[in-house]
Amino acid sequence: MVKAKYQDVLDLGEQLNIQDGKVEVENGQLKVWGTAATQYEKNLLWDKIKEIGGDEPSDIMADIKVADESVYARHTVKSGETLGKIAKHYYGDAMKYKQIFEANTNILKNPDLIHPDQELVIPNL
């Protein structure tokens, strides 16, 4: 029953391609392990856990590691995006586009000029 309650978390883990994933139910508690590619993906999983179980759920134990701690996320630019939109998505603040630009000066020369399919580093703040 607890596995069904958190099925959306397990589905999200599959969508995010969580590596080394393992799921067990023990004494009515769901236990999950795995490795997310970035901190952002780990945060997405924890946000989903809290959405379902509250801020301190007692019926789930999750041990999620992060494969690449050098960045917050990696983002592939889609048509119509701007650094401001991307910053708003990851940080909740469009003005943090400057930090994204600074982290990507190896491929970006102008913060107003990005192209679809560029892979940007979203830095830890």
Domains in the chain: boundaries? 2-66, 73-122
Q: Among 3.30.9.10, 3.30.1490.100, 3.40.30.10, 3.30.70.1770, what is the CATH number of 2-66?
A: 3.30.70.1770
CATH topology assigned to domain 73-122: Membrane-bound Lytic Murein Transglycosylase D; Chain A (3.10.350)
Q: What is the pTM of this model?
A: 0.89
The whole-angstrom separation of Cα 61 and Cα 5 is 13
The residue-averaged pLDDT of 93-99 equals: 98
**Could you report the per-residue pLDDT of 101-114, keeping only the tens digit for each?**
999 999 999 999 99
Q: What CA–CA distance (Å, rounded) separates 111 from 88?
A: 15
Residue 81 CB contacts under 8 Å (≥ 6 apart), including other chains: 114, 116
pLDDT in tens, 37-93: 999 999 999 999 999 999 999 999 999 999 999 999 999 999 999 999 999 999 999
